[in-house]
Amino acid sequence: MKKPYIFCHMIVSIDGKIDGTHKALPERKSSADFFYNVAFGEDSHYDMQAWLSGRTTTDEAFTKYKEPDVDKSAAPVPEGDFIVETDLPKYYVSVDPSGKLAWDNNTLKYRDTKAHVIEVLTEKASNEYKAMLRKLNISYVIAGKDALDYEVLMEKLSDLFHIETLMLGGGAVLNWSFVQAGLCDEVSVVMAPFADGSASAASLFETKEGLSTDTPVSFDLDHVESKEDGTVWLRYKVKN
Ligand SMILES: NC(=O)c1ccc[n+]([C@@H]2O[C@H](COP(=O)([O-])OP(=O)(O)OC[C@H]3O[C@@H](n4cnc5c(N)ncnc54)[C@H](OP(=O)(O)O)[C@@H]3O)[C@@H](O)[C@H]2O)c1
């Protein structure tokens, strides 16, 4: 299968949580800056063209669980994908199988990084949702009928957008589904020296019924680096 090189890059607490009240601690900023620079900074370790996010992560960070502004009487859109030319250096690839996200723009900004949005839909997404994306000039690809077809997605990201290196950027459900599908090549964990003991906050990886199971996976340790502020950077190759 033709596919980009995929690394999962996440910042976690010392108990492996990717969310929780510890994120609000001002002292965590230097770990968060290191996390950003590894993937997005001027001298970044990775040279990626895109990062991939799950629907919940996008709703939390950008679209805020609003209702998409669709026109129920929109004319039928042409079959297939919709590709928009962009000058921006990065793509934000949003896995949104049913077409739920309330975009109002075809770009987003994460710190200093501006990216063009690509929506990853399945055939479940409605005509009116695709019409809204076209109106906003948001690229979309159809990958699968009812469930995400990983192979189709990998080929489209490679062939249509020339993505060679892709960051798997969370959340927990998206990350684990890609690891379980055998698509993740490397895991980069930035461990920030904080915790909050939350019993409900998501961990680095989580199963979701219908998307993934708890089949174990092994990793080879590739790199360990510690920083003066207590941040630890771990990189693993996935034993696929
Ligand atoms: N610390 C960090 O570095 C970091 C980074 C990113 C996110 N986060 C945190 O992660 C949390 C959200 O994570 P989450 O695990 O709840 O959700 P998520 O992975 O962001 O999104 C899950 C949803 O995405 C869609 N999806 C994901 N994988 C899919 C697949 N293989 N096939 C089809 N659909 C798929 C589904 O959408 P539908 O439900 O629409 O079907 C699924 O319910 C947030 O709290 C966020 O703050 C932390």
Whole-number Å distance between alpha carbons of 118 and 137 = 10
Which protein residue has the closest C-alpha to ligand 1 atom 27?
174
Domain limits at 211? Answer: 1-47+171-240
What are the structure tokens assigned to 202, written together?
A: 């998501």
- The verdict on 56 and 155 lying in the same domain is yes
Looking at the structure of the chain, the number of domains it has is 2
- The verdict on 55 and 154 lying in the same domain is yes
Q: Does the C-beta of 169 come closer than 6 Å to ligand 1?
A: yes
Using the atom order of ligand 1, give the atom closest to the CA of residue 177: 31
The residue out of 129, 163, 197 marking a domain boundary is 163
- The verdict on 56 and 142 lying in the same domain is yes
- The verdict on 60 and 150 lying in the same domain is yes
What are the structure tokens assigned to 161, written together?
A: 């957008």
The residue out of 134, 163, 192 marking a domain boundary is 163
Distance from residue 47's CA to the centre of ligand 1 (Å): 23
Q: Does the C-beta of 149 come closer than 6 Å to ligand 1?
A: no
- The verdict on 99 and 177 lying in the same domain is no
> Along the 240 residues of the chain, how does pLDDT read in single tens digits?
899 999 999 999 999 999 999 999 999 999 999 999 999 999 999 999 999 999 999 999 999 999 999 999 999 999 999 999 999 999 999 999 999 999 999 999 999 999 999 999 999 999 999 999 999 999 999 999 999 999 999 999 999 999 999 999 999 999 999 999 999 999 999 999 999 999 999 999 999 999 999 999 999 999 999 999 999 999 999 998
- The verdict on 75 and 103 lying in the same domain is yes
Q: Indicate which CATH number applies to the domain containing 22.
A: 3.40.430.10
Distance from residue 75's CA to the centre of ligand 1 (Å): 31
Question: CA nearest 233: which of 193, 203, 189, 170?
Answer: 189
What are the structure tokens assigned to 83, written together?
A: 């590709």
DSSP one-letter string for 177-197: HHHHTT---EEEEEE-S----
The residue out of 163, 192, 207 marking a domain boundary is 163
Distance from residue 221's CA to the centre of ligand 1 (Å): 25
